[in-house]
Each structure stands twice: as C-alpha cells, then as structure tokens.
Structure 1
Amino acid sequence: MKNEFTQVMSERTDTELVKIVTIDSGKYNPMALEGAHGEIEKRRLDPVKFSAIKDKITSRANNILYVESKTAIRLLRFVNFVIDFIIWLFLIAVGSYAIELFIHPKNESLITFLIFFLYFGTYLGYYAIMEIKFQKTIGKFITKTTVVKSNGDRPSAGDIITRTLCRLIPLDRLSFLLTNHGFHDRLSQTKVINDRLK
C-alpha cells in the first residue's frame, strides 16, 4: 500500500503536496500523508518555499470561506432579478418607441430584426456592461450585493460575459429553487455576496 501512495504522491505538484500535508491533512489517511511527506523530503523542498506555498494556499482557502459566509440569500437574489427585470422592460419600451419613431411601418422585416435585437441586445448588454464596469447591476446597487469570483477576486470581462450568456439557459431561474447559486453562477465560477458584510 505504501508503494502505491508513494507513486501517487510523486505525480503531485509541490503545491498539491503542501496542501495535502497542511490544510487538507484531515482528508487523507496516515499512509497517504506519509507518502506525501516522503515525496516532499525526496524533493528537498526548501522550507522558505514550503512556507510561501502554505501561506498562499491558506489565503486562498480563507478567501473562499469568506465568500461562502457572505453569499447573498435567495430572497435578495430574487429582489435583484425583479428590479433588473423592470429596468430591462423599461429599456425595451424606450427602444420600441425609438423604433416606431424612426422606422417606417412598411419595413416589417427590419422592424422584426430590430425588435429581436432590442430584446436580446438590451438583456445581454445591460448585465454585461453593468457587471463588467461595476460588478453589479442596478438591482445589486439597491440590495447592496456584488458579483465576485468564487475565490473573492474581481471577475474578468470573460467571466462576466460567460455569466451573462449563461442567463439564457432555459432553467437558469429555476435553479435558484434548490440553491443560492444559479447555473450562471456555477458555470462562470462567480458568486453574489453582500457588500454590507464586507
């Protein structure tokens, strides 16, 4: 059994080994821990490097715990949705008025295209622009919540675009019936946390 763990641990990175023998030590059996310690000794891992890796891992784990403890409850997420939905309807109303004002009614195909673009463009644009720029929508400003990465970092533009596109998944809204995190949270590895608890 020891040889099996020795082989497994030899394939782990320095960071994985340090994590195993420090913050994750309770998740492993004694033989696995012995294999990890043996591999660290075999590699002659510098104590300064070991300590730096351990600090980085601990900091990352603490950030994740912090984000989890500040996760916005479903009621706040629902309030965000309602506020942002009303704003989206307002944007559609303004856009529809502009289309009626400037496009001749005989241009049915153009009007159909513009209405289609208006619905999806304003929906995606509203969420993407607001969350890329501010990490929050108007609904989140009102409820004092914000979007962060699962580790507490600021999401990149790519994260927000993924998050925004995932909102189009048909069952995304229903996913909140089971958990505080919708599909668009999980797939973009983001979370909504309370600002007031920072």
Structure 2
Amino acid sequence: MRKYLAIVDRHKATSGTRFINLLLDRLFIQVIYYVFFFIVGVGYAVVYGEGFDTESANQSFMFKLITLLTYLTISFSYFFFMEFYLGKTIGKYITGTEVISIDGNKPTAGQIIARTFSRAVPFDSLSFLGNNGWHDSWSDTRVIKGKNYVTERQSKEEINSIGAKEMS
C-alpha cells in the first residue's frame, strides 16, 4: 500500500482543467490517427498504383475491425508512452498539469498501465467530474498542477533540511 500524501490532494487539477485535458488529448489522438491512415493510404497508392476504395472497404467488417484496433492501439500508446516517460500528455503540457503517484513520486509502469487500460471502461472519461477519476483511483495516481506542487514540495524539503549537518 502506498503512503498517501496530503500535499498531492492540495494540488489536484480542477474538473474543468481535467475536461480540457480530455478534449485536447482526444484531438491529438485524432490527428495522429488521421495522419497514420493518410500515410498508409499514400503507401498503398505507391505500392499498388491506385487509390484505396474506401466505399467497399467501409462495408467490410474486417476493415472496420482493423480501424478500431488501430485507433485503440494509438490511443493506448499515446497515453502510456506520454505519461510514463514524460509524466504528462500534450493536453497536460498545455494546461500545466502532470500525473504523479499518490505518494508524490513518479508513477510506476504498472500504475500507468492500470491507468491507461482503465480508460477503456465506459464513462470513465466523465468520472473525473466526481472526486477522482476512476483511472486515477484504480491506479493510485493523481493529476496535479505541476508548478504549485513542485514549489510547495521544495519549500518543505528546504524547511526539513534546516539544521541538518552539511557535509562538503
């Protein structure tokens, strides 16, 4: 069980900010999705010398399945890689928020995987309108306002270091 820090709760992002994050991230995922299929379409045209017949493809169950799986793969990859390696997605960069563990540390790969797969639960994207989003609660993570959190954490560390013997 992780130690829960009160400082994390004091700096949680507001529901409005979380909603903006959701909209921005979905927008960027859509852009990546369309760019991916544009590149695939151009590659198809170069290899086969003809355009892709979207009308007959849209009738195909296999095409629909492939596009759905591609979208889910892009979406999960976007959230996992951005949040694990950078601590934030593009939407979070814009709003100045980031993902941390409830103990104040960087989230582990397991926490980010749980967070990412929790987003597949229906209505999860609206769950942040409550106290915490489901993907936050189930993965022991929080979305915080980065600057405020870092400032308070540094202040507390400086206060705690007063009186400690300095070694050269």
Does the alignment pair 1:146 with 2:98?
A: yes
1:194 is aligned to 145
* Distance in 2 (alpha carbons) for counterparts of 1:112 and 1:176: 30
Q: In structure 2, which of residues 119, 122, 126 is the aligned counterpart of residue 170 of structure 1? A: 122
Q: Does structure 2 retain, via aligned residues, the 8 Å contact 1:96–1:115?
A: no
Residues 123-134 of structure 1 mapped to structure 2, 5 A cutoff = 123-134=75-86
Aligned pair count reads 136
Partner of 1:71: 12
SS class of match (2:12): coil
User: How far, CA to CA, are the matches of 1:112 and 1:102 in structure 2?
Assistant: 19
Q: Specify the alignment match of 2:135 in structure 1.
A: 184
Partners of 2:12 and 2:130 in 1: CA distance = 15
TM-score of the aligned structures, taking structure 1 as reference length = 0.63
The amino acid of 1:102's aligned partner reads G
CA contact 2:97–2:146 (8 Å) conserved in 1: yes
Rounded Cα–Cα distance in structure 2 between residues aligned with 1:134 and 1:151: 18
CA distance in 2, matches of 1:148, 1:176: 16
Which of structures 1 and 2 has the bigger CA Rg? 1
Aligned: 1:160 with 2:101: no
Contact kept in structure 2, 1:99 and 1:111, CA below 8 Å: no
In 1, Cα distance between the equivalents of 2:27 and 2:145?
22
Structure 1 stretches of 4+ moved >6 Å: none
For residue 19 of structure 2, what is the amino acid of its counterpart?
F
* Distance in 2 of aligned mates of 1:122 and 1:75: 25
Stretches of structure 1 that go unaligned for 5 or more consecutive residues are: 1-59
Letter in 2 for 1:87: F
